[in-house]
Chains A and B, each alone.
Chain A
């Protein structure tokens, strides 16, 4: 037994050495390259595209962005025409008249006209509760058909972000009225025919979805003729599939989770088959603190401020994000409209954090190493997206720093849907989140402070929340640019002082694409990519 066994062990050891000797690094030359892809893009996605109904919120936004379009488009130069070629706003700021593009058709051949716009907007308004986070939905009084290609939207009061909110990926986008169920979309739809550059042609749930170029697209047929969204769990599976060319495209998902770590991307780039394209900073990744949770230490401003000081943003940016994202010290970076407000920088300073806690009466208990006050331990739960490896590492880094000053953080990894649900119900102390992106910042993210499905629980518990909400309401209806600026500054100062949004880094979208793919650009939103502009060399 022992002799033959020794032989076997030797054999196994040999086999293992041979296997491991073939280091994965130096072996990309023989591979069929990703670029040899018949004018098709197959992208990896961690989640299924799900329900493509554009008037609800479970679908994948990048996929919806390909199929559906809005009246206007938010670009870096401001609001531009899309399905509406021009528009007028009445003097009192309440009536918007849109002149629609003619000869636009839905994918099922139905004409896109004023009647279709009215039906879509009415369908959205009938489900108002769902859309309360987008304040425009609470201000629309009526949608009226003027003629075949003119439609009029009446608001209850002037609302300056109206056009910006109409430009969003959802819900004010247009689905063929033929797909409606009994004139509504809130109880499901019969088909997914939009007006966009791509047509959804096949969907195998949890496996893939294919989108083919809309040859009749009113703005000219796109060059890439087929796009496939393939469901792959994040991480090494995506990396292998990219390396092998089973998928040839990957990008940061709509929850800000990257499918691969920075080094894996670098390795793909080094192979020569892929290029990495990064957008400018689009949003701020942050930890959201639930100020309204009265039983938890997170209710206290001093605790939140101490936690702010316990985040080593430089290390996160340099080591965890590999230098791809910059450290963020405020909720919005200064290039965001109206957000260039001077605010105190709370740097990484554990001594300061400790003394803040000490002053607030949180005393260190020598035995457990955790602080407590009146018998309540300084312990909080922090939720992160289990699909995002970088969030987990950041969470552990913060956890470790916090532990050293006597704050105990319990980490829980969950699916992004569950985290969004927690944000709505307020069942959290701390959770990872991000601002909504250039097209939405600051106005929509700030409106979100007052909405239950967004940041109501986050902001509700601060001392001056009533005043804060009053200011938010004022800023949205104010037509005076200077006044708005002052109000925004006030709002940002309040939430900064209260430390309910603890910024981490300025996030961007990272695209891994075949090296011969050209014209990769980004929109103002982190939720979609302009595939229709891309083409192969």
Chain B
């Protein structure tokens, strides 16, 4: 297992490097000269060509691409992503807290997603083909087809305004989590419970189940076996879901005024705040790779067969 972890981590390194290169290239595609942008951010009233040249030198922009890339990467490794063009604050000071807020929402949602997915998946698998199975699946198809902002609006209006049970927005107490988590859960559990279900079903047809039945094991014990094997799917869903949700809470954050990465990134895009966009892209891509690696490791720990895949 130790070897596997090392090999898996080594595999992530070239990926991380490719991501950093891609991000850097992306930012260099930006139609604006970084030197001009920096001068603007400083509020310099008249930007002359001479001034631009001087700033380019100061910022090291006159150096070859590879040198710039290396410098940039070294800065990033120290969490120095430069300063926001709009507020002048350091990008990390903006993104750090936002990242934590989104991570909190994500983790709570992931737990809720896995609980709901496993519950529904197991129920549907045991009842496969019957009314319960069909109705849950039909309902899931329709619920996941509702745009999350429509769903959010409806739920906020009903629970917060009409019933006056929950806050409409913000991040004040645990009650603020309920609605956003509920909406994220509906969006994802409606997709993921089908994975649990189909994994349960395929386990049910496996030889060990037939053998167990034939040798007279109690049905309860067999179900437990199936459950244990199917849980693996659930765990891998859990790990996969985290980085996905991390980046896709944009709409929910927008509707609930959640002070997270999603809100930050939209604001940055609409105000063309390139350093923030760049850091956002980099941080999310890196966490995607890291969570994927963790997910693979957990899977491998549970299923030794997978370790040979590397």
A19 to B267, CA, bound (A): 33
A14-25 vs B, CB cutoff 8 Å, 1 = contact: the mask equals 000001001010
> Could you say which residues of chain A place their CB within 8 Å of the CB of B44?
129
Query: Chain B: which residue is nearest A207 at the CB level?
Result: B259
Least CB distance from A531 to B in Å reads: 22
Q: Does A431 contact B (CB under 8 A)?
A: no
Residues of A within 8 A of B254 (CB): 233
Contacts of A417 in B (CB 8 A): 86, 271
The residue of chain A having its C-beta at the shortest distance from the C-beta of B129 within the complex is: A1
CB-based nearest A residue for B86: A417
A240 with B168: CB separation less than 8 A:
yes
8 Å CB contact of B139 from A8, A51, A206, A246: A8
Considering only CB atoms, which chain A residue lies closest to B85 in the complex?
Answer: A421
Q: A243 contacts which chain B residues (CB < 8 A)? A: 161
Chain A CB within 8 A of B228 CB: no
Q: Considering the chains assembled together, what is the distance between the CA atoms of A424 and B47 in angstroms?
A: 11
B234 interface hit (Cβ, 8 Å): no
Within 8 A of B (CB), among A335-367: none
Query: Which residue of chain A is the closest to B254 with respect to CB atoms?
Result: A233
- Which of B70-78, B149-157, B196-204 binds A? B149-157
B-side contacts of A58, CB under 8 Å: 86-88
Does A452 belong to the interface (CB within 8 Å)?
yes
Residue of B160, B162, B267 most packed against chain A (CB within 10 A): B267
With an 8 A cutoff between CB atoms, is B134 at the interface? yes
In the assembled complex, the CB of A278 is this many whole angstroms from the nearest CB of chain B, namely: 26
Find chain B residues with CB under 8 A from A452 CB.
45-46
Say if the beta carbon of B40 comes within 8 Å of chain A. Answer: yes
CA–CA, A316 and B285, complex, Å: 45
Which of the residues B43, B154, B257, B271 comes within 8 Å of A418, measured between beta carbons? B271
Q: Knowing A236-B153, A418-B270 are in contact, say whether A241-B45 is a contact too (CB < 8 A).
A: no
For the complex formed, measure the closest distance between the CB of A129 and the CB atoms of chain B, giving whole angstroms.
6
**B134 and A1 within 8 A (CB):** yes
CA distance A51 to B84 in the complex (A): 13
Residue of B nearest to A188 (CB): B88
Which residues between 232 and 253 of chain A lie within 8 Å of chain B, taking CB atoms? 232-233, 236-237, 240-241, 243-244, 246
B270 touches A4 (CB 8 A): no
Interface size on A, residues (CB 8 A): 49
Q: Given contact pairs A51-B88, A233-B257, enumerate 9 new A-B contacts (beta carbons under 8 Å).
A: A8-B138, A12-B142, A27-B162, A56-B88, A58-B86, A129-B45, A205-B259, A206-B264, A237-B255
In the complex, B135 has a CB within 8 A of chain A? yes
Q: Which residues of A contact B98 (CB under 8 A)?
A: 206
Residues of B with C-beta under 8 A to A12? 139, 142
| Nearest opposing residue in chain A for B131, CB measure | A4
Nearest 8 A/B pairs, CB to CB: A206-B259, A415-B271, A418-B271, A452-B45, A415-B270, A240-B168, A130-B43, A417-B271
Which residues on the B side are within 8 Å of A244 (C-beta)? 160-161, 164, 167-168
B-contacting residues, A413-430, CB 8 Å: 413-415, 417-418, 421, 424-425
Roughly how many angstroms separate A451 CA and B162 CA in the complex, as a whole number? 52
A418 to B86, CA, bound (A): 8
CA distance A224 to B248 in the complex (A): 41
Interface pair A246/B271, CB less than 8 Å apart: no
Q: Is the CB of B168 within 8 A of A246?
A: yes
CA of A11 to CA of B164 in the docked complex: distance in angstroms?
A: 25
- B170 at interface (Cβ–Cβ under 8 A)? yes
- Which residues of B lie under 8 Å from residue A414 when comparing CB positions? 270-272
Q: B87, B89, B158, B171: which has the most chain A beta carbons within 10 Å?
A: B87
Q: How far is the CA of A310 from the CA of B151 in the complex (A)?
A: 40
